[in-house]
Structure 1
């Protein structure tokens, strides 16, 4: 798989190559139209960037100062200080801290405030919570929804306090400019705003992770920590590569996401093992069967794709099933500016194969996860603005 990067203004990323577009003010088309002709001519469809997972070539390849797209492991936070806090990091169904799924670096070339722009996806690993999430997402009162999957958007101008305005060298010598907030010592994912009362060193995102770490390892070393050392500050002066690793092994396997144009792939490419194991094979409903057949035909070009990205105004998700699609009223407006949200990318179930998720009735599974983001990619307010994900479950 080619990993060549195209540099835009000395700072480009492959996911951004199709984002240099203008989106009009009209509301996006209703994607629940049963009469929609899915098999429209290829020339009429907007370009799609496909994402594939690979093990990183270098240890430093996924550091935040290189603006990576990645899946599994822990997030490379774009704004490393003003992280989501409070209940933002929790599954709203079971109350457990969410696990990092993936992030996509997708700057908008026509918006100065989004010179750097990354979308972060988190979810609860419980299939029970995901089933409840599916039920919740149909509610037409967004403020009452309880979610087990969350998406956050963060963006920065070219000149900012965290990174150089010059292009990274991609040779291991790049360093971030600013400090970073200390992360949870157990999950390595969320901000560690809770401190161990004894050693004043270990930090945690939640009481749950503090309790787990105490019983599993920290109890035996806590009282041996030198209390004369300076206590942890709210901000760490360490660069991202110096931050300690998470104590737990509950994260999914870590990969770099590399990208290719869908048009570069032949329609006749055969299915891979990942494709066969990750996707369902039967559908009794005639409408779903037609939709499923088209989904299989389209993804068969590159069976190991895990992400499909296209922010053109005419772009639509590639739905595995006709049923279970949202209408316009099911997609809540941006909670920051009140504007419409539009389709930006979708996550395919092939990712579960690379995460070594078991194939049984209680294991995490989805047909697709579709991410909708603010049409204007609004700026101001919180550093991490919550966007919306729609989950379509397999039959």
Structure 2
């Protein structure tokens, strides 16, 4: 049945349902040692056996595309997407409390992207999605990078958070049959009422005057009020038509987002990395990022690196990325996989990757996010804007089950050295 479902997804009109490709690294990457913060060499994957080249599958590259239809990124279609609001897999049991907040500024985190990455080895991972949220403050991200080096902490403070959610084929939220991808697919049940400002987190608080708009936090309630809600806040006595079914009101309310500060919404289409592909014009063919801007960014980054090892790593990284310069995500979940690091400094050792909080098992690398995504999000290119070299996501090797619907995983942030002089 699982095979039939996945086969049906692959024949759909969208790339949303394509099972992501997984691969070990190239032999030359497997041989590279990682360096921890103290300078000691500690290869994260030195105990893994290399597979033969012919057994390796290509890296899955995520590129951003505008969705073909308005309904393409709904949660019942199990999308991979970036920007906008999350398409929660479990729409009811959402993360709560401090999990939704930046641990430094205590403001709600903004949705960056989600990756639909089901695993076939067990029934509980028939549907499986990973979500990334982050604070939009570069100051908080720099604190996050410093915090991640602290080992043996019960709970570290973070501004980048990753959540894993998984469901069996037979669940209370979706049909067990493959989606038809024709605009008529519907979820089996409504989800939780979400924040009327960000449309992201559960709206556990309500406007005390109109009692119609829900909020995830006092912060978003205050921002919405100042942004215009005080001019249209009306008593509940003239709220929506009572004849409208409550389920319809709930589903419609989920779509209403007052904030205009969310990142633009895209579908993430997954393509295979071709090892022998080299684009013309220095890798800028078919890229939405202008070659002049990329050339300036590369030159600025190269100038910011203090050591030859960093410069060599960046040159190797850029050569690999230039084969598909529009990529924003690299996915290759495998026991022997590790990220394509832009710089030699700032890489984690084994001890820097914490064990799974829920089962105590090992976390392994699954995918990384590249800073090119910030161009598509329209983030300003200045010294104080949000920026990073790469964000590497590590998840529970066994993708463990449990009572928590959204299990928090681990993101390692690598920021280019001498950040203050670095421009994207």
Q: TM-score, normalised by structure 1?
A: 0.88
Conserved 8 A contact 2:279-2:324: no
| Cα shift at 1:297 | 1.2
Q: Is 1:349 aligned to residue 371 of structure 2? A: yes
Q: Is the 8 A contact 1:374 1:387 kept in 2?
A: yes
Offset at residue 239 of structure 1 (A): 7.3
1:362 matched to which residue of 2?
A: 384
Say whether 1:18 aligns with 2:28. Answer: no
1:226 Cα deviation (Å)? 2.8
Q: Do residues 383 (structure 1) and 405 (structure 2) align?
A: yes
Is 1:327 paired with 2:349?
Answer: yes
* Deviation (angstroms), 1:167: 0.6
Q: Whole-Å Cα distance in 1 between the matches of residues 201 and 296 of structure 2? A: 32
The answer on whether the counterparts of 1:85 and 1:191 sit within 8 Å (CA) in structure 2 is yes
RMSD: 2.8
- d(CA) in 2 for partners of 1:73, 1:141: 35
Q: Note the C-alpha offset of 1:156.
A: 0.4
Match of 1:316 in 2: 338
Q: Deviations over 1:91-140 (max 9, x none)?
A: 00000100000000000012210100000000000000000000000000
Counterpart of 2:139 in structure 1 is 128
Aligned equivalents of 1:329 and 1:281: distance in 2? 29
Instruction: Give the whole-Å Cα distance in 1 for the aligned partners of 2:388 and 2:187.
Output: 36
The 1:193–1:35 alpha-carbon spacing in structure 2 relative to 1, beyond 3 Å, is closer
Matches of 2:413 and 2:90, distance apart in 1? 27
CA distance in structure 2 between the partners assigned to 1:259 and 1:324 by the alignment: 28
Q: Does 1:152 align with 2:150?
A: no
Does the CA-based 8 Å contact 2:22-2:331 persist in structure 1?
no
CA apart distance, 1:42: 10
Equivalent residues in 2 for 1:211-230, closer than 5 Å: 211-226=222-237
CA distance in 2, matches of 1:20, 1:109: 15
**SS of the residue 2:107 aligns to:** coil
Deviations 1:6-31 (A, max 9, x none): 9625345566343599xxxxxxx974
C-alpha distance in 2, partners of 1:380/1:121? 20
Q: Secondary structure at the match of 2:366?
A: strand
How many pairs align?
A: 378
List aligned pairs for 1:197-346, cutoff 5 A.
Answer: 197-226=208-237, 243-263=254-274, 266-269=277-280, 270-272=282-284, 273=289, 275-276=294-295, 280-282=301-303, 283-346=305-368
Structure 2 CA distance, aligned partners of 1:107 and 1:239? 28
Alpha-carbon separation, structure 1, partners of 2:99 and 2:184: 34
User: Unaligned 5+ residue runs, structure 1?
Assistant: 1-5, 22-28
Q: State how far apart, in whole Å, the 2-side matches of 1:239 and 1:217 are.
A: 22
**Distance in 1 separating the partners of 2:81 and 2:323:** 22
- Please give the per-residue CA displacement for 1:258-301, whole angstroms capped at 9, x wherever unaligned: 01010276134533335546653433311111211111111111
- Give the C-alpha shift of residue 350 in structure 1: 0.6
**Quick one: distance in 1 between partners of 2:162 and 2:203?**
20
**Helix, strand or coil: the match of 1:320?**
coil
1:111–1:91 Cα change, 3 Å: same
SS in 2 for 1:210: helix
TM-score, structure 2 normalization: 0.82
Which residue of 2 is the match for residue 94 of structure 1?
Answer: 105
Distance 1:236 1:277 in 2: 52
